[in-house]
Each structure stands twice: as structure tokens, then as C-alpha cells.
Amino acid sequence: MPIELSLVQKIAVWAIPVIFAITVHEAAHGYAARALGDRTAQMLGRLSLNPIRHIDPVGTILVPGLLLLLGGFLFGWAKPVPVDYRNLKHPRRDMALVAAAGPLSNGLMAIGWGLLLKLALVVGSADGIWMGLRYMAVAGIIINLVLMVLNLLPLPPLDGGRVLTGLLPARAAYQYAKLEPYGMFILLGLVLIPGLLSAIMFWPLAIAESTLYALLGLNASSALMPGT
């Protein structure tokens, strides 16, 4: 069985993956926007991979910390990167691409953590720093896949909602975008109703995780087993 971690060990394992998963997600929006013509994030000093520039004390530290302590559904957020659609050449299409950049970055980070897990399993021992890296890599895979799937839900102002707005015909997109002022309340309702958000995300997460482990030739059930 996997080793039972103390609270301090859990914080040590999850802190780096959570902070980078959230902040790189936001930075990806800024880099995508710059590539498509909008330099707002760059002018405001937000076009950076430095987590300090993106950390939201509540969404990046307090909420994930409390959820980790309580054993709840782990997620969080950073300060949103500002994007001015008026600077984009094709606003509807480009806003969809900017939105998609965040979940895409989480998918790529999940692959990166998977490669670290594979390295730790192949060349490392089952104790000491290598076992710690295994736990951190698994945490990195989990939080990035959770953020990827969560943000792809087709609910404005989540990234999936903005992607769908960019794909819909103009009239339907206009009507759909009217949901945005209520989107966070809807999401909060999904979070507060026990088990509802987990049920919605279960199969997409399961498919994403099994696909990632299969592509990297990893066995999820034995990754944290001592002696493997």
C-alpha cells in the first residue's frame, strides 16, 4: 500500500505542483494573447512564469490548503491574466485560442510530471528523495488533469465556455455569453452540492489519466508502492 503521509508531508508534496499548475495556466493565456496581437498582460507585468506575479492568496494558497487539509476535491485559481479582445485580429476565434491555451498548458505539465514519475521509477530507489519525487509527480499529474478538465467545462467564464463561445454561430454565441455573470455562481453551486462536481468530472478525468499513464507506459496502481 502507498505510504500514509502526514499533513506536513502532504503540503511538501503538493505545494510546488499546485502553485505551478495554477500560475503556468494563467501565464499561458498571456503568452497566447501576445502571440495573437494583445500585449496587455506584458505591459502589466503579468507575462511571466514567476508564480509570485500570479498568486492569488485565496485561490492559490488558502483554498487548496484547506481542501488538502479537509480531504476535499482539490482545485484552485490564480489572478486572471488581463486580455483585451480589441487588440486581437479575429476577436472571437482568437479569444477561443487564448482560452484553450490554459488547459493545454495543464495537459503538457501533466505529461511533464508523468515523465518525472517514469524517471523516478526507472532510476530511483523506493525510499528517500526518489520516493518523494514519485509522490510529487503523481500530485502534479492529478492537479494538472483536474484543472484541465475543470476549465474545459463549457461554462462561462471557464475556459471551456469561452472556447465554446468562439465556436458557436455569432447569434448563439451572443446569447450563450450572457451566462458569464452567473457562471461562477453556477460553479459554486456545483462545488457545494456534495459529490456533484466529482460525478461530472469523473469519467473525463479517468479517461485522461488512463490515457496519460498508457502513453508513458506507467502503472498508476503501483506508482507509489514501496519496493516498485
Which candidate in 4, 26, 180, 209 is catalytic? Answer: 26
Assign 60 to helix, strand or coil: helix
Give me the helices (H) in 124-158, please. Answer: 128-151
Residues 6 or more apart whose Cβ sits within 8 Å of residue 40 = 33, 82, 83, 84, 87
4 catalytic? Reply is no
d(CA 116, CA 16): 14
In order of 73, 137, 191, 203, 220, the CA distances from 223 in angstroms are 21, 10, 29, 21, 5
Distance (Å, whole) CA 143 – CA 104: 14
The residues, ordered by sequence, that sit 6+ positions from 122 with a Cβ below 8 Å of its Cβ are: none
Question: What is the number of other CB atoms lying within 10 angstroms of the CB of residue 181?
Answer: 10
Question: 122: how many CB neighbours lie within 10 A of its CB?
Answer: 7
Residue reference for cell 463549457? 154
Amino acid (one-letter) located at 97:
L
Catalytic positions: 26
